[in-house]
Chains A and B, each alone.
Chain A
Amino acid sequence: MASNSWQFAGDGDESDDDNFNPAPADMSDDENNDKDEEHNHNHRPAGKTVRQASSPVPDEEEEEEEEHDEEEDARPAKRSRRDHHDDEDEEQDEEENEEIDEEEEEEEEEEEDEEDEDDVHGGNRRKRRNKDRRAAFFDIEAEVDDEDEGEDEVGDGEEIEDFIDNAHPDDIADSGRLNDDRRHRELDRRREMEASLDAEKQAEILRERYGKRAPARGYGDMAIVPRRLLLPSVEDPSIWAVRCKEGKEREVIFSIMRRIEERMGTKNEVPITAAFERGGVNSVMKGYIYVEAQRQNDILVALDGILNVYPRSNMHLVEIKDMPDLLRVIKTPNLEPGAWVRLKKPAKHAGDLAQVIDVTENGLEARVRFIPRLDYGVRDDPVFQADGKRKRPGVPGPRPPQRLFSEAEARKRHPRYLQGNPQTNSWNYNGDDFENGFQVKDIKIQQLEVKNVNPSLEEVTKFASGAEDGTENLDLKALAATLKDSAKSVAYVPGDIIEVYEGEQQGVIGKATNVQGDIVTLQVTEGDLAGRTIDVPNKGLRKRFRIGDHVKVIGGSRFRDEVGMVVKIVDDRVTLLTDQTNTEITVFSKDLREASDIGGQGSLGQYSLLDLVQLDATTVGCIVKVDRESVVVLDQNGDTKQVQPSQITNKLPKRKFAVAADRNGSEIRLDDVVREYGGQQRQGKIIHIHRSYIFLHTTTTNENAGVFVTRANSVTTVAAKGGRNTATAGPDLSAMNPALKRNPAANGKQMAAPRTFGPDRAINQTVVIRRGGHKGLLGIVKDTTDTHARVELHSKGKIITIPKADLSFKDKITGKTIDINQRGGSRGGFGGGGGGRGGGEFGSRTPMASGGSDRTPAWGSSRSTARTPAWNRDAGGSRTPAWNDGSRTVNAYDGSRTPYGGATAYGGIGSRTPAWHSGSRTPAPDGFGHGSKTPAWSAGSDSWGSKTPGYGASAPTPGASGDAWGYTPGASGGGNSSSAYDAPTPGGGLSAPTPGPYSAPTPAAVSAPTPGAWQGGWGSGDAVSAPTPGALGAPTPAAYYSAPTPAAYGGVAETPGGPGYADDD
């Protein structure tokens, strides 16, 4: 560097086109300060010219002196300078002389230069003194400009700040005294002069002299220097990488240091500015030393003869941009006791996890403990050497498994090699030390894998469980420190809130927007930099959470996958309350991530929390905790045990309809809330019922996830789900109206009754089997039970038993699918001919049509009175009316029922049963639950009402009327009114619309006779069969007749007729 500045100085002079020689000595002292040069020019010229004028000899001397210094300049520069001097004769002569001198002196001066380089100050001073000393041989007393010279000195001192000593007047006096008393006199003079000045001026001078000192020191000492300005540039010495013997780097550097010291101050000082090495076992820079010097040749000189370094082989010039990297500090992994490492060296243990117990002072070795792999000489045993050859000791066989040291084993095999102390449980076996079952060994740090250890939980637990007292002594902190070192475990994802806790950007908080390799781009959210985007290495980062954040544990922690809310944060340790178990866990913030709101970790494979699982034939359990690799199960005896999924036999599906009896004999089901009768009186909701055990879940405790088990007969019901449900909730409006819903069942039951009559019509029918193994086969039913039929198969001549439901009845001749009941109906039906014709095909429409409100009036008038008798009476109802209606209605509904109608008293009712039942039930006790319907019904004016009573009315009415013939008077009470309502009901209600769609006459026929029946009393009853078919002829008017009948009650009656027809059209 120094030489560079000299170069500068020279250049500066040239450009100035200065007549005067620069003052190289001064310049060399000073680190390139143009201002200084100017000062020099101010002072020097005077002195020099005077000197030149006064005496050439000293001048010559001085020139020469200066030349020495100048020697360091590049020669051309000097020449050019000389050219400038050409016009001055005197000087020219001198220069020529000099030229000769220079040639001679060049070599030795080079040495001096080097010295200068090393110690510029010293060198300069020495020369100064030399000059003075030499001056003593000349008669410089005669000089007039002593003062100038002195001034000069002082000036130098002033300007060249490094020359503190020189700068001080006392110093000057001091150095002067060494030579002669001239200085004394000079000093006296100066003091006189200074004394003569007034104080203010003096202060001015002093300030001028000393004031500038600090600022002029150069940026090297400034408090803050931008780093980039400190980077090397082309003007700085270059660095060469020199090959050396691997592992000897440090040695070489020490040799160089010694050499520098030795040669310091001698002619051949070591011409380099710096040398260093970056060796080390793992270093990529091993095998090289780095030497900084101006020229490559200097290095050859400096390293000549030093052992283990090969400057002559190949030397690489380090590029300037790479220079800073040479000195980059790589943090050596710091091994702390308790940290986890992996062994590299004892081949038997390669890759094994070990824990650092201690690190030696020099940091070269660590005492570690690990789980030994001992075979206690089993494989050395001659028994096992089948071929009788001695095994070569160097060849490792399959290495024994990791097992804690067993004293007993060792004693059994090699009692001789075993010594130790049972008290401390430390042993020495075969030269190895064992403590508490672990092998303890000093291992060189190079032979340890310190980074990316990533101990797995299993490995670590082996160490933990090995503790003497059996307690878990996991050092979470050490574990974390180890894990933290592993680079891959830290993963930031865009969106993470991150805090910089280390390095220049410490304290910055931001949101990660981009992650690329090790660089995380942060959008700063807080502080002065808010809004800015900065890139930071992920080294000194940690995730930042706030209390209440919902987070998920990721990464290496054993709590992985737990989800919870943050309740406490200390540094980078975050305590959270888990969602699953409501317990608190503490993990490192790096292992956390903002959780989505869906809780995780409820399941392991097919098993999830609160599942009931079978552990063995007699044991079941409820899963109360799900870990990463195991689950905790609370079994029926109340014990919890940790099991692997593989130990679970199977999962018991939840039996929704499982029922148990509590101690009072009440039925309890899933989701009922029960309380223990005795004991702790715990209360909980039943989640599983298994035989006599019930598993309950409560929120009041989080022990076993709130699950406990008890016997069903030791609990009492607190709130049964079913009971609560009916109490609070109305009907489920998204499901079938419950009132209607019960019908099918009731219907079926109702219909079952007729079956008991007569032989089963299925017998002797031709059937096809619809499902099962015999599917598709044709056969004849030979015999039946209620549910099954014995079918003789055509194909096999064999009789098999098949559920009736699986049979499809076929017409013997046509093969068409038929309904045997219908056939039976038509066959058995008395007036079936008409019925069949009238309603057979269109019967199905009847109910729809009957939905019409024509019955409404009837109903409205009849109200429940009409129905009630009907209802009660129907069973015993006379057949006649039943027939009446039966023949019609049945068709309308379902021809198949007709036969029953015809055959029994049921008939009338049965045929209408569906409608009737629904009607009767609707308002009936179980009710709709909706008031809306009830009034509707009673009002008889809306569709609900109309329908309901319609059904009810139609059925009972005839029935009632049938009965009523013996009865009506009573029922009708009101005479006119009763007949009135009775009349329309069958006529207008059911019959009229029913055939309506089909053909006008039918209803007419029906309706006509019906009223007739009413009015005519028995006669009509007898005529039942006649009117139906016969009616065809003159129906229409009859229909009108029927209409007016209800009309008596109001306009309503017409309404039905109207819509009925309208619909039909």
Chain B
Amino acid sequence: MFFLHNLERRVTLHPSYFGRNMHELVTTKLVKDVEGTCAGDYYIIAIMDAFDVSEGRILPGNGLAEFTVKYRAVVWRPFKGEVVDAIVFSINPHGFFCQAGPLSIFVSSHLMPEEIHFDPNATPPQFTNNADMVIEPGTHVRVKIGGLRTELGEMYAIGSINGDFLGCLQA
């Protein structure tokens, strides 16, 4: 789910950049550092604006200036039970991996409808129910997130396509 989230971050700037456009640089740096990263259990998708840049404070030792920047960002937090659309990028006999934006989701073969099975002989290998549903790399699927794991700077999820309206999206 997407949220507009007020966040705060400390940005440091090398003294060689001190000047009248420092705030601009700080904002640039903030965007560069933060946008598109995973912050614990959510992703920072985009920074709307930095509405408060504090006065810089010189850090003892290295002379960098530290600014506390308050900014507003669009964040995406996947939830357990959330249904997302994703693109399959890898298939193995145990299931397939798909990518919902930055989030990699694994759908185990246990979490697929009964009739879907792995077909190793197809090229590329695919999951199929021998009818309308063919899941191979590149397929768009609708997946329900079953569990989430967060690591430093990364998130993983397992998903299920066992349910109504889940599975292949007919383009």
CB-CB under 8 A from B24, the residues of chain A are: 932
Q: Which of A728-777 contact B (CB under 8 A)?
A: 729-730, 732-737, 740-741
Residues 561-581 of A contacting B (Cβ, < 8 Å):
565-568, 575, 577, 579
The answer, yes or no, to whether A582 is at the interface (CB within 8 Å) is yes
Give chain A nearest CB distance to B163 CB in angstroms. 13
Q: Is B80 an interface residue (CB 8 A)?
A: yes
- Inter-subunit contact B148/A548 (CB<8 Å): yes
- Kindly list chain B residues whose C-beta atoms are within 8 Å of the C-beta of A943: 19-20
Does the CB pair B17–A548 fall under 8 Å?
A: no
Cβ B110 vs Cβ A568 within 8 A: yes
B90 near A547 with CB under 8 A, answer no
Once the chains bind, are B147 and A566 in contact (CB under 8 Å)? yes
Residue from the list B17, B89, B94, B97 in contact with A584, Cβ < 8 A: B94
Q: Evaluate contact between A942 and B94: CB separation under 8 angstroms.
A: no
Contact B147 A734 (CB under 8 A): no
Known interface pairs A741-B16, A932-B24; 6 further A-B residue pairs with C-beta atoms within 8 A, sorted by A's residue number: A567-B108, A568-B110, A568-B111, A583-B94, A734-B14, A936-B20
Residue among B16, B19, B92, B94 making CB contact with A736, cutoff 8 Å? B16
**Is there contact, CB below 8 Å, between A597 and B151?**
yes
Cα distance A865–B108 in the bound complex, in angstroms: 69
How does the 8 Å CB contact mask read for B90-122 relative to A, with 1 for contact and 0 for none?
Answer: 101011010000001010101100000000000
A599 CB-CB contact with B under 8 Å: yes
**Nearest CB in chain A: distance from B32 CB, A:** 6
Is A933 an interface residue, CB under 8 A from the partner?
yes
In the complex, are the beta carbons of A734 and B13 less than 8 A apart? yes
**What's the Cα separation between A573 and B90 when bound, in Å?**
27
Task: Bits for A685-729, please: 1 = Cβ < 8 Å to B, else 0.
Answer: 000000000000001111000000000000000000000000001
Which partner residue on chain A sits nearest B19 by CB separation?
A: A944
Proximity string of chain A (916-927) to chain B, C-beta cutoff 8 Å, 1 when within and 0 when not:
000000000000
8 contacts between A and B (CB under 8 A): A547-B158, A548-B158, A565-B106, A579-B149, A582-B92, A598-B151, A699-B90, A936-B20
A625 within 8 A of B: no
Chain B contact residues, CB within 8 Å of chain A: 12-14, 16-17, 19-21, 24-26, 28-29, 32, 64, 80, 89-90, 92, 94-95, 97, 104, 106, 108, 110-111, 137, 145-151, 156, 158, 160
- Seen from chain A, the residues whose Cβ lies within 8 Å of a Cβ on chain B are 547-550, 565-568, 575, 577, 579, 582-584, 597-599, 699-702, 729-730, 732-737, 740-741, 930, 932-933, 936, 942-944
Query: Which of these, A547, A599, A734, A737, contacts B146 with CB under 8 Å?
Result: A547
B94, A936: Cβ atoms under 8 Å? no
Which residue of chain A lies nearest to B24 when distances are taken between CB atoms in the complex?
A932
Say whether, besides A550-B147, A579-B156, A700-B90, A567 and B111 are in contact (CB < 8 Å).
yes
Chain B residues with CB under 8 A of A584: 94-95, 108
- The answer to whether B29 and A733 touch across the interface, beta carbons within 8 angstroms, is yes
Kindly provide the distance from the CB of B78 to the nearest chain A CB, expressed in whole angstroms: 12
Q: Complex formed: what's the CA distance from A741 to B92 in Å?
A: 49
In the bound complex, how far is the Cα of B146 from the Cα of A568, in angstroms? 11
Docked CA distance A867–B104 (Å)? 55
Using Cβ atoms and an 8 Å threshold, which residues of chain B touch A702? 92
Chain A residues contacting B25 (CB-CB under 8 Å) are 733, 930, 932
Q: Which of A577, A598, A732 has the most CB of B within 10 A?
A: A577
Q: How far is the CB of A582 from chain B (nearest CB, A)?
A: 7
In the complex, A599 Cα to B111 Cα: how many Å? Answer: 23
Do A597 and B150 have beta carbons less than 8 Å apart? yes
The CA of A567 and the CA of B89, in the complex, are separated in Å by 19
B90 near A942 with CB under 8 A, answer no
CA–CA, A740 and B17, complex, Å: 10
Contact present for B106 and A700 (CB under 8 Å): no
Tell me which residues across on chain B come within 8 A of A729, comparing CB atoms.
32
**The residue from B29, B145, B151 contacting A599, defined by CB atoms under 8 A apart:** B151
Nearest residue in A to B16 (C-beta to C-beta)?
A737
Judge whether B20 and A942 touch: CB under 8 Å. yes
Which residue of chain A has its CB nearest to the CB of B80? A548
> Contacts A568-B110, A577-B158: A735 and B147 contacting too (C-beta < 8 A)?
no
Given contacts A584-B108, A733-B14, contact A597 B149 (CB under 8 A): yes
Contact A567 B158 (CB under 8 A): yes
Residue in B19, B64, B92 whose CB lies within 8 Å of A933: B19
- Complex: chain A residue closest to B12, CB-CB: A734
With a cutoff of 8 Å between Cβ atoms, the chain A residues found around residue B104 in the complex are: 699
CA distance A758 to B20 in the complex (A): 46
A553 to chain B, nearest CB (A): 15
A575 to B94, CA, bound (A): 11
Q: Is the CB of B21 within 8 A of A582?
A: no
Closest 5 A/B residue pairs (Cβ): A548-B147, A737-B16, A932-B21, A567-B108, A568-B110
Question: Shortest beta-carbon distance, A454 to chain B, in Å?
Answer: 30
- Taken together as a complex, chains A and B put the C-alpha atoms of A492 and B12 apart, in Å, by 47
Q: Which residues of A contact B145 (CB under 8 A)?
A: 548
B32 surroundings in chain A (CB, below 8 A): 729-730
How many Å from the CB of B46 to the closest CB on chain A? 16
Residues of B within 8 A of A550 (CB): 147, 149
CB distance from A936 to the nearest CB of B (A): 7
Measured CB to CB, the closest approach of chain A to B136, in angstroms, equals 13
Chain B residue contacts of A936, Cβ below 8 A: 19-21
Give the complex CA separation of A943 and B14 in angstroms. Answer: 16
Residue of B nearest to A698 (CB): B90
* CB closest chain-B residue, reference A732: B14
CB distance from A853 to the nearest CB of B (A): 13
CB-based nearest B residue for A928? B17
Bound: A575/B14 CA distance, A: 51
Interchain CB contact under 8 A, A568 and B156? no
B21 contacts which of A579, A597, A699, A930 (Cβ < 8 Å)?
Answer: A930
Asked if A547 and B147 sit within 8 Å, CB to CB, the answer is: yes
CB contact between B149 and one of A565, A700, A732, A933 (< 8 Å): that residue: A565
When A550-B147, A567-B108 are in contact, do A730 and B89 touch as well, CB less than 8 Å? no
Task: Report the Cα distance A371→B147, complex, angstroms.
Answer: 45
Given contacts A730-B28, A933-B19, A944-B19, contact A736 B14 (CB under 8 A): yes
B19 and A932 contacting across the interface, CB-CB below 8 Å: yes
Residues of chain B within 8 A (CB-CB) of A737 are 14, 16-17
Q: Which of A547, A701, A933 has the most CB of B within 10 A?
A: A547
Q: Which residue from chain A places its CB closest to the CB of B107 in the assembled complex?
A: A567
Task: Kindly state the separation between the CA atoms of A18 and B160 in the bound complex, as whole angstroms.
Answer: 83
Which chain A positions have C-beta within 8 A of B149?
550, 565, 579, 597, 599
By CB atoms of chain A within 10 A, which of B20, B92, B158 has the most?
Answer: B158
> Which A residues touch B14, using CB under 8 A?
732-737
Q: Which of A548, A549, A565, A729 has the most CB of B within 10 A?
A: A548
Question: Is A547 in contact with B151, judged by CB distance below 8 angstroms?
Answer: no
Residues of A contacting B13 with CB < 8 Å? 733-734
In the complex, chain B residues whose CB is within 8 Å of the CB of A933: 19, 21
What residue in chain A is nearest B110 (Cβ atoms)? A568
Closest to A947 in B: B19
Measured in the bound complex, the distance between the Cα atoms of B16 and A741 in whole Å is 9
Q: Is the CB of A733 within 8 A of B151?
A: no
Distance A736 CA – B62 CA, assembled complex (angstroms): 11
For A944, the chain B residues whose CB sits under 8 A away are 19
CB-CB nearest in chain A for B13: A733
Counting chain B CB atoms within 10 Å of each CB, which of A575, A733, A933 scores highest? A733
Distance A998 CA – B89 CA, assembled complex (angstroms): 70
Query: In the docked arrangement, what's the CA distance between A734 and B89, Å?
Result: 36
Closest residue on chain B to residue A739 by CB atoms: B16
Please determine whether B110 and A740 come into contact, CB atoms closer than 8 angstroms: no
Most buried by A among B25, B92, B149: B149
Q: How far is the CA of A566 from the CA of B108 in the complex (A)?
A: 10
Which residues on B sit within 8 Å (CB–CB) of A699? 89-90, 97, 104
**A-chain residues with CB within 8 Å of residue B90 when the two chains form the complex:** 699-701
Expressed in whole angstroms, the Cα–Cα distance for A29 and B152 within the complex equals 81
List of B residues within 8 angstroms of A741 by Cβ: 16
Determine the chain B residues whose CB is within 8 A of the CB of A736 once the complex forms: 14, 16
A701 to B156, CA, bound (A): 16
A932–B89 Cα distance when bound, in Å, is 42
How far is it, in angstroms, between the C-alpha of A228 and the C-alpha of B160 when the chains are bound?
Answer: 51
